[in-house]
Amino acid sequence: MHDETDYDRQYGLESFSTSELTREAGYIMDICRRHGLPAGAPVLEIGCGTGRISIGLALQPGMGHLLITDPSPAFCGIVQRKLSGLTVAAERVDFGILQAEDVNMLPAGSVSMILLRSVLHHIADVDGFLRACAAVLPTGGLFVCEEPYYDGYMMMGFLGQFIEDALTGSGYICTQEDQHRINHFISTMQFYSRRDIDKSQAEDKHLFRPDELMATGREFGLELTHYPNWRMTMSPEGNERARAGYFQRFFAEYVRYCMDWPEDFSKRVAEATRKYFRFFEPLETGGNTTPACFGTFVFTKR
């Protein structure tokens, strides 16, 4: 639905530092190693996009055969271009045009880990896909993804309804364009949270509840551990530090980057709604984080 070559601009990823990407992918691999992934194991990445994690994975010491895939030839080309000229540390790197739904074309046991970041919510039949991944993975193999949680997004939509009042209260009168933006955001969050409509033509289809994923995974022999509000590309200390004020920042970044709101309007909204987020301050003690917005899911094939 969007021009692939504009993706890095929208998310502010036009320039990248290879050392930063390597460090980020190192945190991903730390989680995977903790869950039993051996060094040198073959890894399949589905939905590489512009390579935000692929580059660091390819540069990762101890990385085995890495198969980087996306259904978009344009995205694969962008990652290939970014990788050309870099000395990869992986045993071997290959590219493939792959729709997640076709993962069953891979021979059983051919990859030890299937990795997806921000991709599972685009796949129409999540249960069917998980079943197919479970069939490809060997015992002990991992399915790792970072995905949106239902609660946080549903709460963002609910909060969206107060944005205009909050702006009026701060002395700013919304233009028609502002009102359109706000309403678009509210209906986007509601659409995303709904489960009673056909989303086959929608880009973002699902928001996840760990209780449901746990039950689905169990059916296919996949045991789930999940880490709410935990970025797999961040250090454990960074993730711990990010717990305070998580929801407020997540909301501010979502409207700025995912909804592509202009910077000045995004700032104005963040300022006018600040007081509502104080509700969460006393809830964030003792390492608690709520509501869960985005996090890491690790399934182990038993």
Contacting positions for ligand SAM (CB under 6 A) = 46-49, 52-53, 70-72, 75, 99-101, 117-119, 122-123
Choice between 48 and 182, CB closer to ligand SAM = 48
Choice between 47 and 295, CB closer to ligand SAM = 47
Q: Which residues contact residue 194 at a Cβ distance below 8 angstroms, ignoring those fewer than 6 apart?
A: none
Choice between 53 and 292, CB closer to ligand SAM = 53
Choice between 98 and 272, CB closer to ligand SAM = 98
For residue 165 the two structure tokens come to: 């009042």
For residue 210 the two structure tokens come to: 């760990």
Give least dist CB 191 to ligand SAM, A: 17
Choice between 122 and 226, CB closer to ligand SAM = 122
Residue 184: HSE in the Cβ half-sphere, 13 Å Cα cutoff:
11
Is residue 112 classed exposed, middle or buried when 0-12, 13-18 and 19+ CB atoms within 10 A define those classes? Answer: buried
Choice between 145 and 252, CB closer to ligand SAM = 145
Q: Which residues contact residue 82 at a Cβ distance below 8 angstroms, ignoring those fewer than 6 apart?
A: 16, 50, 51, 55
Choice between 45 and 178, CB closer to ligand SAM = 45
Give least dist CB 272 to ligand SAM, A: 28
In sequence order, what are the beta bridge partners of 150? none
Give least dist CB 79 to ligand SAM, A: 9
Give least dist CB 266 to ligand SAM, A: 19
Give least dist CB 247 to ligand SAM, A: 21
Give least dist CB 117 to ligand SAM, A: 4
Q: Whose CA is closest to 5, among 76, 83, 95?
A: 76
Which residue's beta carbon is nearest to the bound ligand SAM?
A: 49
Give least dist CB 114 to ligand SAM, A: 11
89 touches 48 (CB < 8 A): no
